[in-house]
Amino acid sequence: MTTITAPTAAAVAPLRIPEASNRISLRQTVSSSFTMAYRGILKIKHNPEQLFDVTIQPILFTALFTYIFGGAIAGAPHDYLPLIIPGILVQTVVLTSVVTGTQLREDMDKGVFDRFKSLPIARISALSGALIADMVRYGIATTLTVIVGLCLGYRPGGGVVGVLAAALVIVLCSFAISWIWALVGVTGKSASSVQGISMMVMFPLTFMSGAFAPAQTMPGWMQGINHVNPVYYMVNACRDLMNGNVYGSNLAWSLIGSAVVIAVFAPLTVKAYMRRA
């Protein structure tokens, strides 16, 4: 009779991969984030209607507001341009940041992020990639708004340096605000509800900020609200830079506010996203 020896526990034990080998390095995380950002840009390429809010909107708003309100507010459309162009620039780019939360919610509802879980990438890269890709949209909106203003006769007193500084500030501030809408997108129930909440908050803040009319002409209570309205400081900082290349308190408050928003909402967004991803 042949004796069969049972295999030892060591022989049948499953192969264990050390946890350290599964960790994603910071370099890999950054690389995968830019890959996801490139994916977001490719989505725009295949769905160009996603650019309507950063192409058609600034052209329509700039032309319509200039010729409708220019005579009533500044006496002539040409004299209204130094007031309206920075305001339209801020409004367009800030409202574009709302798309961040909406598209995040759509991707999560479609199960796109569930597929990303099976890839050997950091889970956070899908979120960070979406935020980076949206900065391309901000740049497009900024460029088109300035071009339309120049075509209408706007000549920024701050020169090229002032315009570039204003564009950089607006893109950075809008990137900070996008973290708020990313949190709303991650925690929201649907893309439509995220868009509704975002617009309900941003439209009043934008219109009362003095983007289209001098804030000094508004009621006292509204001027008081503007002292805590971040869009108000963004509009004034943009005007200071574009019209005179002035670096003052409005710029300082805009940058400080952006840093505070990122410090508060970025960890909350990442925590909520990692809980659901």
pLDDT computed for residue 271 by the predictor: 86
Per-residue DSSP letters for 70-117? HHHHHSSHHHHHHHHHHHHHHHHHHHHTHHHHHHHHHHHHTTHHHHHT
Return the sign of the alpha-carbon dihedral for residues 137, 142, 148, 151: negative
Inter-residue contact 182 to 99 (CB < 8 Å): no
Q: Is the model's pLDDT at 137 over the cut of 90?
A: no
Inter-residue contact 232 to 210 (CB < 8 Å): yes
Residues 217-225 have a mean pLDDT of 90
| Averaged pLDDT score across all residues of the chain | 82
What beta strand segments (E) does 76-171 contain? none
Number of Cβ atoms within 10 Å of the Cβ of 161: 11
Which one has a higher pLDDT value, 168 or 36? 168
Q: For residue range 19-65, list pLDDT tens digits in order.
A: 433 577 777 777 877 888 887 777 777 777 767 777 788 888 888 88
Residue 85 to residue 80: CA distance in whole angstroms: 8
Confidence of residue 130 (pLDDT cuts 50, 70, 90): confident
Q: Is the model's pLDDT at 277 over the cut of 70?
A: no
pLDDT computed for residue 160 by the predictor: 93
Confidence of residue 5 (pLDDT cuts 50, 70, 90): low
